[in-house]
Amino acid sequence: MTFDVAHLSAELDAHLADADDALASGFPGERASRQPVHTVYVPADRYDTGLVSQWGSEALATLDEHGGDDAAYAAVLGVPADLAGEVVPRVRAKLASEPIEDLRVDFEDGYGNRSDEQEDAAVDAAAAALRSSLAAGGAAPFHGIRFKSFEAPTRARGVRTLARFVEAVAVDGRLPDGFVVTLPKVTSVDQVEAMVVACGRLEAGLGLESGAIGFEIQVETPQSILGPDGTALVARMVHASAGRCTGLHYGTYDYSASCGIAAAYQSMEHPAADHAKAVMQVAAAGTGVRLSDGSTNLLPVGDRDRVHAGWALHARLVRRSLERGYYQGWDLHPAQLPSRYAATYAFYREGLPAAAERLRNYVGQVDSGVMDEPATARALADFVVRGLDCGAVDDAEVLELTGIDRARMDVLARRAR
């Protein structure tokens, strides 16, 4: 060949160098760590050292009182009858061992406006309770706080709570593993940039490693989705976070109310909610920022009929979110845990046989009726890893079905630790 291909390649490399760097830094891919299946929000003045185990006990008590046998419970939640014997014992084991995967101590809407003295005292008490539960091994594996927003009326109080709590839980220049904070009601890219500044100042002032403080952006306002210039501000927010943003959490009721939706129709499945979450999903894709759906405030409490209705609704919404690629959501009451885990476990167990067969064929290069691409194989492995992480499936059955051990499955899912 007389044409100088090497020279052209070098020219293109130089031309695309900035674009290559921007792609690598802005879209690093999925995080390797486990993602919790939910976040539980608890008002700060109701949080104490034993809260996690208390929620588990209350959830089990509700299940004992209203669940009936495995088949009856599964039927209420829409779990296939042939999975009842696999799902329900796992739900009970989960509620006894790790009822809450992610806990957020709430100093925002759930706590309300108090005097500075009252909120300072609540910060100190909650931080002490978290330290105590961590020391005793009773804390949720993921935990943190939601503080008041960076809107002008609440900014000073939010920063004060954030700084006081972080200082109280930091030990020897380190924050607890799994610690994250939530920035609510974000209305501008500037607020995200301000949060980056605040994190940097706190780290320097408290002797923490740079980048130690990560934060979630709570999408509760239409301004986060569509800016005045017509752009999707949530995408710019992710990239303005200097790599500190760990998640985008949809706020069902604040967002719906801001869109003028009547209270009776505010829901995780309203078309306005689906639009917002679709924009969030595209904005987060490839960035390592994870998604969380919102909550339902129709709780499974009261008599058996009300509990069953609440469970059925919650389970359906959880399943709906999972099918749409939202692997996390909010829970507001202990009685929602049985439906959260039942719906989640059924989702992974129902999908495991087909995913396992496709992975076995892909790894073994077996001809089959489905020709999977590497990206699809990665998605299949990620599905299996998520099921393993939450307890829906276990290592032994995955190995038996796929011939792939956990270490290799993590590699396929790009979750290698």
Please give the pLDDT value at position 99.
98
Cα separation, 356 vs 103, whole angstroms = 32
- Residues 6+ away with beta carbon under 8 Å from 317: 268, 269, 293, 296, 329
For 111-136, the pLDDT digits (tens) are: 999 999 999 999 999 999 999 999 99
362 falls in which pLDDT band (50, 70, 90)?
A: confident
Cα dihedral sign, 302-304-307-310: negative
Cα separation, 128 vs 48, whole angstroms = 9
151 falls in which pLDDT band (50, 70, 90)?
A: very high
Please give the pLDDT value at position 292.
98
Q: In which residue are the tokens 């990620």 written?
A: 382
Please give the pLDDT value at position 30.
87
What's the CA angle centered on 41, arms 193 and 236, to 5 degrees? 25
Over residues 220-233, the mean pLDDT reads 94
> Is the pLDDT confidence value at 392 over 60?
yes
- Rounded to 5 degrees, φ, ψ at 336 are -85, -15
DSSP 228-251: TTSS-HHHHHHHTSTT-EEEEEE-
Question: Which residues, listed in sequence order, are joined to residue 330 by a DSSP beta bridge?
Answer: 39
Model confidence, pTM? 0.94
Over residues 305-333, the mean pLDDT reads 98
Please give the pLDDT value at position 370.
55
Over residues 266-295, the mean pLDDT reads 97
> Is the pLDDT confidence value at 231 over 80?
yes
Q: What is the largest CA-CA distance in the chain?
A: 83
Instruction: Tell me the one-letter amino acid at 6.
Output: A
> Is the pLDDT confidence value at 365 over 80?
no
> Is the pLDDT confidence value at 375 over 90?
no
Over residues 36-41, the mean pLDDT reads 98
- Residues 6+ away with beta carbon under 8 Å from 161: 107, 119, 123, 145, 147, 148
Please give the pLDDT value at position 111.
96
Rounded to the nearest angstrom, the gap between the alpha carbon of residue 39 and the centroid of all alpha carbons in its chain is 6
363 falls in which pLDDT band (50, 70, 90)?
A: confident
Over residues 161-189, the mean pLDDT reads 96
